Chain A
Amino acid sequence: MNLARNFVENFPCFSIVLCMVAGILSTPIKGNHAKRITLLVVILVTCMSAATFLYVVSTGTSFVYTMGKYPAPWGNEIRAGVLETMLATVFSLVMLFSLLGGMDHVFKDIPEEKINLYFILVDLLLSSLLAIIYTNDLFTGYVFVEINTIAACGMIMIRKIGRSLVAATRYMVMSLIGSGLFLIGLAMLYDITGHLLMENAHLVMNQLVQEGKYSVPLLVIISFITVGLAIKSGLYPFHSWMPDAYGYSTVSSSSILSSLVSKSYIILLIKIFYRVIGFDNIVNSKIVDVLFVFGLAGMVMGSVGAIMAKDIYRMIAFSSVAQIGYVYMGIGLETEAGMVAAIFHILTHAITKSLLFLAAKGLNNVSGRKRVFYALQGSAFRNPLAGVAFLVGSLSMVGIPMLSGFISKLLFATAALGAAREKVLITLIVLAVSTILNAIYFLHTVVRIYTPVHVPEEFKNVHVRVSKGAALAVFSLICMNFILGLLSQPITDLIQVGIAMFA
């Protein structure tokens, strides 16, 4: 038993390493094999994360896994609590489904010789994601953030069309600025605390706060770190790169990027809030209110952008701007309920967004790959599965009960009532407004794809047969959506437990 324990405790670190190894292995071999290896790895990682998750839930405590032979406060640690493991599981699942769903497009979009490279990047990305989720060491966090960025950028630019190159560039620049700020923030943090491990830094931090020393540098540090990560995750005013980056890379990339990568930074941020600086200190420094305001702005402006958008991908991309706005709004509520809502929404959005991207691709395929809306007229009848997927995704985003979107809306709203008085009504009203905007662009598209008349002649009798993998992926994503929508109670409970474990 005890042995089994220790064995399970190796899983997090092992899965990270496994991904890297897979990446290295895939270097010399051909695309097809790389694909198999990657899928295998992702599945393995999923299983391991799930196992760890169950294990942590059963023990009810988080565990720390020391890497290398140096103990704290020096060495380099990995920490696995309920939240981390759950996120890891969900992320790797979504990753798997996004890959499956977009597989045939990967082979279409990407030049033959580059395919194995693509899968290497995927492996790298997964490993960095896991690392960011698990890490207990700030600097490791930074390193993997960078790796994450590089991998993501590679996944965007691997498709050799002009726009994706430019998008990659802009993405790169933005996130480099972000990581620059993050790095300097870390450096200063290290400067005043003298620690890189989260617990120890936290201890010192509390001490400093009690003594009231370094209040100004502390504020600077918090704002640097927060702003840096916010920029990287594409909070509203810094979203300019998003639409192109998501809109023009191959579908798997865009779904992975939009649903996982940008979220991983938020998770790191939350982690730092709780485990390093301490949530009370964060609240005291008014930085969160800034997040709140930008979050609200994002909720509205993102949707407006989506309404303006000229093609379906950009529309969905803009909607993720809005969704990230939701998450930051939740964080900005400064309550635990808000945090729970935010994290739940991260899950919701991860699932729904990837579903939407896959669906959009499927619809776009039967519409002559035209990047215009009218081409989509009636496409849901040409590709029923994609149609249903898009329907479910949209409804979830609009927040129809029984789907995950409704629950996160519910959580946000309930959290809002617990928040500071001046935030209550504004939050609720902005929620309502952004719901209406969501309805406007998503349901408009739904109506369009389900309109069997005025269909452009050339697509009248286009029919596409969806590969089993894609079908499976879409189907299971839909199921996950319903599961989150109907059985949300245990999940929210777990999230609460996880946050409790953070402290």
Chain B
Amino acid sequence: MSSVYLVLPVVLPIVGGALMPILHLPDKKRNLLLEILVLLTSAIALLCVYRRPEAGFTLFHLTGNLDFALRLDGLGSVFTCLIAILWPLSTLYAFEYMRHEERTTSFFAFYTMTYGVTMGIAMAENLVTMYLFYELLTLVSVYLVMHPMTKKAIRASRTYLYYSIGGAAFAFISLIFVIVFGDTTDFILGGVLNMEKIGNNVSTMLFVYLLSFWGFGVKAAVFPFQGWLPKASVAPTPVTALLHAVAVVKSGAFALMRLTYYCFGPDFIRGTWVHFAVMSIAMLSIIYGSTMAVKETHFKRRLAFSTISNLSYIVLALTMMSPLGLLAGISHLVFHAVMKIGSFFSAGAILHQSKKEYVDELDGLAKKMPFVFTVFTLCGLSLIGIPLFAGFVSKWNIAAAAMEVGEQYPYAYMAVMVLLYSALMTAVYILTVAIRAWFPDRGKELHSNEKITDPNWEMKLPLGLFAITVLVFGVCSEPLMQVFRAVVQGTF
């Protein structure tokens, strides 16, 4: 199909969201309209992936050899599908969750615009376009963080803003270098750097890669720039779930993939000091995230920390600088999205139904809301990486990649160790919650008299779907893996 259609998934939500506040609709109508809009967008996006236009579509010419252009390649399609499938579900969930909040219209306006912008990141044809949408993503999603409008939320949103803009500022440097030292800014698997042009600037180039790794990594919450993520979990759950488990942070990881495998090229970095530097960064953030998660008693913040560590799984996989690594990265990108959004939504459902935020308040709650906790436990087991759950597959891939690289650079064995350490930590911080909920100590069931029930279908549906997905992919992930392999080989 013609490449013009690529514009729709990006523009529709942005425009639609922007219009929302203008036409003052009653909530019911608005929700219906939004859901339709989102579904339509997703449909178009999936269609675009299904009948993929080879050519890109140039929105307009910026300057020199820079244009804003959209194009779907393998990696982009994967990310697009991920978002296109997850967004409608979480919108549905959001309706129920936000029912009693204020300023819902503006919330949903930005929520939808974020959809479009994320699509833009997924479909960006070149570094400049991605940079543009990357900045925009910050700007549109910052409102969502500050939406509760408490002092805390506003402070959190500011932190988020500074971190992201700062990151972008450093990413910008790499943009320049790629413009000058690359053949093109388009994403080409294997990198676009031109060795003649670089000449004797290799060391500078590597340093720049490190800078921009951190720059884009800020959104992926790599150490030491992870600070904003736990803070941002003051936001409403649909936001924390979607943005801080899928859209924003995954865009960070996605950007890193683009930067590493499609701009600088793994061969350029493999074996240099930077290679090990980034590997260590990833490991550090994994250790940090999972350890802090154990320490944290606020449920959502605990999940946020877990997100930090899990994102760095993806990053760690990338830093293997090998096709297998990219494969592992992609698979964890997808699977983690599903299971983390699942666990976040369970947390949100618990918060919404029982107003309980802290882990030690959850004793025996599972008896009251078995459905939610079943979902949570399943997602949790998947996070730990128990076989037959999706998480295991992606972790297996990461470890396999690390083992392969380890042949050449034994440092990579460390990566596997770190992986297992954090798996153990994950077990600790997830299962303590689950066990508290299912098997409370005698006399600790505080909830015998409280009226707490499972939420209504709008919340249940997404939760159930996520749980099922986790199981299904855990048991038969092969078809998906074949697609990913194709992506990695550039044959998709």
Contacts and interface: CB of A to CB of B under 8 A. Distances in A.
B286 interface: no
Interface residues of A, number: 36
Contacts of B139: 395, 400
Place the interface of chain B in its size category. Answer: 35 or more
A440 interface: yes
B131 A447 contact: no
16 contacts: A402-B132, A410-B66, A417-B177, A428-B173, A432-B172, A433-B169, A436-B166, A439-B169, A440-B162, A443-B161, A447-B154, A451-B146, A451-B149, A451-B154, A488-B62, A488-B63
Q: Top 7 nearest A-B pairs by Cβ distance?
A: A439-B165, A435-B169, A401-B132, A432-B169, A436-B166, A413-B176, A453-B149
B326 to A, nearest CB: 27
B170 interface: yes
B204 interface: yes
A424 B158 CA distance: 31
Nearest to A488: B63
A414 B172 contact: no
A401 B166 CA distance: 15
A249 interface: no
Contacts of A447: 142, 146, 154, 157-158, 161
Nearest to B151: A454
A489 B61 CA distance: 9
A305 to B, nearest CB: 18
Interface string A163-207: 000000000000000000000000000000000000000000000
Contacts of B61: 489
A401 B165 contact: no
B interface, by DSSP: helix, strand, loop or mixed? Answer: helix
B207 interface: yes
Main secondary structure of the interface of A (DSSP, over half): helix
Interface in B158-190: 158, 161-162, 165-166, 169-170, 172-173, 176-177, 179-180
Contacts of A429: 173, 211
Interface string A409-440: 11001101100000011001101110110011
B64 interface: yes
A407 interface: yes
Given A432-B172, A443-B158, A489-B62, 9 more contacts: A399-B172, A401-B62, A401-B131, A428-B173, A428-B176, A429-B211, A431-B172, A453-B149, A489-B64
Contact of B135 (A401, A452, A453): A401
Contacts of B176: 410, 413-414, 416-417, 428
A492 B161 contact: no
A398 interface: yes
Interface of A: 395, 398-402, 407, 409-410, 413-414, 416-417, 424-425, 428-429, 431-433, 435-436, 439-440, 443-444, 447, 450-454, 486, 488-489, 492
Given A417-B180, A425-B207, A439 B135 contact: no
Contacts of A489: 61-64
A425 B161 contact: no
Contacts of B169: 399, 431-433, 435-436, 439
> Which of B135, B165, B179 has the largest number of chain A CB atoms within 10 A?
B165
B122 interface: no
Nearest to A485: B62
A429 B212 CA distance: 11
Contacts of A428: 173, 176
Contacts of A414: 176, 179-180
B456 to A, nearest CB: 30
Nearest to A398: B165
Given A436-B166, A488-B62, A489-B63, A413 B158 contact: no
Contacts of A416: 176
B166 to A, nearest CB: 4
B62 A432 contact: no
A395 B139 CA distance: 10
A439 B161 contact: yes
A432 B165 CA distance: 10
